[in-house]
Structure 1
């Protein structure tokens, strides 16, 4: 049961960084990709159908960590508190900008919501880099500081941005598509997206490999209760994600509600 819990934890974490990283990265680059209001709406429409579904992978990761590895969850929550607070704040600000953008039609209102999406996306990406730097260094109980923290935060944020750029080149049309293609090369969107997906998955797995997961697992009775439920729910989550991408995976040709 412990091995299955470890495999599921890695699967959920990889799913979040690959799928959620796409909409985070696209949100980071929204000012570059979309120059006017209509273009920014097009950029947001490219990832708006997916961002809630992508966040489910993070919620599943956190839930599994709390239920199956409670000792490690407590260590991470207390030790990485300075990184988690701005990360969650950025997450809330970003989602609020996405939800509220279509609620009013004033120019300043839309500009403020666009700013919330961009700033929130950058905050989430940088804080993930800061948090992962501590896991790379093998210190889950405390945040890293100094050059290591700066390098890790900027490096992971840059990876998110390039990942979002590949996603944008696969989804957008018109001038935003041309801007995305200008940086990664025309006809190379799939290669770029696949490469950054592998790198993000590798970063998540490498960070998890240094965690004391085996020594912090819950008792056998708890795992015997939770793991079978997760094994039933996981295929449903994957099926829902496949349906979502099949339904909304084409190129965006016009702005949506957002």
Structure 2
């Protein structure tokens, strides 16, 4: 049961947060002006905080149910994990601060932070997954990291095509074949799940001794998390028609 709980949160994070990471990576391509970039960011504004909850939950499950695995992942990939956390902070700073003061220079700087943080997240996950799957570190790990980052970017474009209108949708749908963005999103979601499952199969998934106490608590919380996520998606199911609060 512990393994399925970890897989549920980890794979959920890859699919859900992978979309907003990919949109951030493609922000300069999708948004050619300040107004367009703000509309692109509106596509992920209702979702990115809720998506990050899945990563927090994954870290909590690792610490509570798989302490040995957590220690192994951190000790063997310390630099990558620190880079991932820094990229996460930089990306979120960009999202929160870009609209706090007027001026194109201010907004352009934080838009750059969103792009840099998103690429940092994608490449950090690629390096971590490449190390787990293939045992690669150093320069040899660059190629699988770029492949994973490209998957995040494609996933983000498919999500943006589902959320945007007009010229922005047409740009986002460059890989979707016109109106097939839903199919592309499903395919990229399946690819992210497959990568996550393959990486998980390479991990020493031996649970600790606290499962008897923590598993019932986690199982109680999962329906609440799924229900809140479904409510957010249903509430913001329509395409973006203008800028958001970010």
Q: Is 1:218 the counterpart of 2:211 in the alignment?
A: no
Find the partner of 1:173 among 165, 174, 192. 165
Find the partner of 1:183 among 151, 175, 180. 175
For residue 103 of structure 1, give the secondary structure of its aligned residue in structure 2. Answer: coil
* Offset, 1:178: 1.4
Give the conservation status (yes or no) of the 8 Å contact 2:39–2:240: yes
* Offset, 1:82: 1.3
- What is the aligned partner in structure 1 of residue 41 from structure 2? 44
- What is the aligned partner in structure 2 of residue 135 from structure 1? 132
Aligned structure 1 segments of 4 or more residues deviating by more than 4 angstroms: none
Q: Please give the residue correspondences for 1:56-67 in structure 2 after superposition, counting only pairs within 5 Å.
A: 56-67=53-64
Q: How many residues align?
A: 246
For residue 218 of structure 1, give the secondary structure of its aligned residue in structure 2. Answer: coil
Find the partner of 1:246 among 227, 234, 237. 234
Q: Please give the residue correspondences for 1:8-27 in structure 2 after superposition, counting only pairs within 5 Å.
A: 8-27=5-24
- What is the aligned partner in structure 2 of residue 111 from structure 1? 108
For residue 249 of structure 1, give the secondary structure of its aligned residue in structure 2. Answer: coil
CA distance in 1, matches of 2:119, 2:196: 18
CA distance in 2, matches of 1:172, 1:232: 35
CA distance in 2, matches of 1:113, 1:42: 15
TM-score normalized by structure 2? 0.98
Q: Is 1:161 the counterpart of 2:153 in the alignment?
A: yes
Q: Is 1:237 the counterpart of 2:221 in the alignment?
A: no
* Offset, 1:184: 2.2
Per-residue deviation, residues 174-195 of structure 1 (Å, max 9, x unmatched): 2211111233221110111000
- What is the aligned partner in structure 2 of residue 91 from structure 1? 88
CA distance in 1, matches of 2:237, 2:125: 26
For residue 245 of structure 2, give the secondary structure of its aligned residue in structure 1. Answer: coil
Q: Is 1:197 the counterpart of 2:189 in the alignment?
A: yes
- What is the aligned partner in structure 1 of residue 142 from structure 2? 150
* Offset, 1:72: 1.0
Structure 1 unaligned regions, length at least 5: none
* Offset, 1:8: 0.5
For residue 72 of structure 1, give the secondary structure of its aligned residue in structure 2. Answer: helix
CA distance in 1, matches of 2:183, 2:17: 18
For residue 178 of structure 2, give the secondary structure of its aligned residue in structure 1. Answer: coil
Structure 2 unaligned regions, length at least 5: none
Per-residue deviation, residues 78-107 of structure 1 (Å, max 9, x unmatched): 111111111110000000000111211111
